[in-house]
Structure 1
Amino acid sequence: MMPSAIFPDLKDRSVLITGGGSGIGAALTEGFVRQGSRVAFIDIADEASQALAERLGREYGNRPLYLNTDLRDIEALRASVGKATGAHGPVTVLVNNAAWDDRHDIDEVTAEYWDKNQSINLRPQFFAAQAVAPGMRQAGGGSIVNFTSTSFMINQGNFPSYTAAKAGIIGLTKGLAGRLGPENIRVNAIAPGWVITERQRDLWVTEDGLKSHIAKQVLKEEIQPGDMVGPCLFLASDAARMLTAQTLIVDGGYL
């Protein structure tokens, strides 16, 4: 469910979202489109992303720019930031949402698998921030929102490379906040709980497992992708102008 709040300062802002074509990312793309932002989003799921851009263009008269990009390719990432800037002006809101949460066992992880996992889950977040920083300086400031996860906070053991990356994102967030804050660029993180995306439901949700998880939440409902939109809009907006280096946990009270 999309939040009802409107943040007037987000209208016409140049926004770039990684992994914006499905799941939480698609909800974030729609959320910023609804605010009247000029949105570009990066993804590799071509068919779904094209369909999302077309639907949002029809529904809101504000079609986002879809940029097919493999985030493991840093030069391609930089080129896509350039395309977003060329289309919409300097990016002043970056949402680092893209992730790959495949499960993996400690006994089966190879060096090659580890590097691939980190090249999707952690490395692009830094290089995306590096790429947009000059434009944010030019614009007088900006907001970067990095998506981490509560998975490492609850000692979830079935994807150690992923949880290592998600813990690293909090360190990256604080380091970037310290460096970029004097230039009026805020950097914060959102840590979702178990968000029931279509991918989660197809691959890992069981009736008993979901019931057990919700029973440990204070708010006794499934967390939906749209539930991440309001917190992200808030952190991106001037409503959070003195908020940086923070991690906002959105998990229904599980923790």
Structure 2
Amino acid sequence: MATYPSLSGRLVLVTGGGGGIGAAIVEAFAAQHADVAFVDVDADGAARTVARVVDRGLPPPRCALVDLRDIERTLQTVDTLLGGRAAHALVNNAGNDTAQPLAEVTVADWDDRVAVNLRHQFFLAQAVSAGMRAARRGAIVNLGSIAWMMGAAGVPVYATLKSAVAGLTKSLARELGADNIRVNAIAPGWVLTERQLAKGAADPSKFQRYLDRQCLKTHLRPEHVAELALWLCADESALCTGQTYILDGGVI
């Protein structure tokens, strides 16, 4: 993994750091000697992330448990976690891609998916951007997906919300750019996290079928997403903003 001296000592907030892509992002920033703070709803997962960082001989990241669907509690928790300091970077990673066909979606399901996948991205960006504006620098990275670009069946709500991430990113980049705050999104393909591997275990052939669609014949791993997040938060990407970076091995 590349080294970015500009990230050393900088305060980085990651959501959903207790597993999968989020855990890889936390570990990657810790390896850059950033001051990493993360939130998650899963206490066991959060503890495992901290343990992996410590096992590498790095200072433990700070973490707090919170359900991101509760915006008021989330903002209070983040403020306490950051100690009133301005974050240099926010990585809006947390989300849930559980499949649910169109005919089965209820109003309650819709509202819950919005809260899990989109609403917290908006309000956390709103919250941290105040300190970034005062510091006249900052980077926000929102996790999207190629699901909406593919027109993926079986996940209509998820795909809709991930398309909204692209719109949110573009709008925030325009609004915050005058204060030297960059806003970008990452739209991964199918990343083989532990959760995805467990889901696919019933039909291992689906991994090969998906790989056959990729130009590059290598499965995406959480570390690949983490590497791109590092670059987007580092000074090396200083003039990159308002973009959705597709990371899918060439599926689209």
List gaps (5 residues or longer) in structure 1. Answer: none
Structure 1 residue 49 and structure 2 residue 46: aligned? yes
Structure 1 residue 72 and structure 2 residue 84: aligned? no
Shift of 1:57: 2.3
Provide the C-alpha distance between the structure 2 equivalents of 1:48 and 1:123, rounded to a whole number of angstroms.
Answer: 23
Shift of 1:128: 0.6
Shift of 1:72: 0.5
Match of 1:220 in 2: 217
Structure 1 residue 181 and structure 2 residue 177: aligned? yes
Shift of 1:210: 1.0
Within the candidate set 88, 93, 96, 2:89 is matched to 93
RMSD of aligned C-alpha atoms? 1.1
Match of 2:154 in 1: 158
Provide TM-score, normalisation by structure 2: 0.97
Q: Which residues of 2 match residues 113-152 of structure 1 at below 5 A?
A: 113-152=109-148
Provide the C-alpha distance between the structure 2 equivalents of 1:50 and 1:212, rounded to a whole number of angstroms.
Answer: 35
| Secondary structure of residue in 1 paired with 2:83 | helix
Provide the C-alpha distance between the structure 2 equivalents of 1:80 and 1:175, rounded to a whole number of angstroms.
Answer: 26
Percent of paired sites with the same residue: 41
Query: Which stretches of structure 1, 4 residues or more, deviate above 4 A after TM superposition?
Result: none
Provide the C-alpha distance between the structure 1 equivalents of 2:160 and 2:136, rounded to a whole number of angstroms.
Answer: 33
Provide the C-alpha distance between the structure 2 equivalents of 1:92 and 1:232, rounded to a whole number of angstroms.
Answer: 13
Provide TM-score, normalisation by structure 1: 0.96
Provide the C-alpha distance between the structure 2 equivalents of 1:135 and 1:57, rounded to a whole number of angstroms.
Answer: 29
Conserved 8 A contact 2:200-2:207 = no
| Secondary structure of residue in 1 paired with 2:56 | helix
Q: Deviations over 1:167-217 (max 9, x none)?
A: 000000001111100111100000000001111111135322111111111
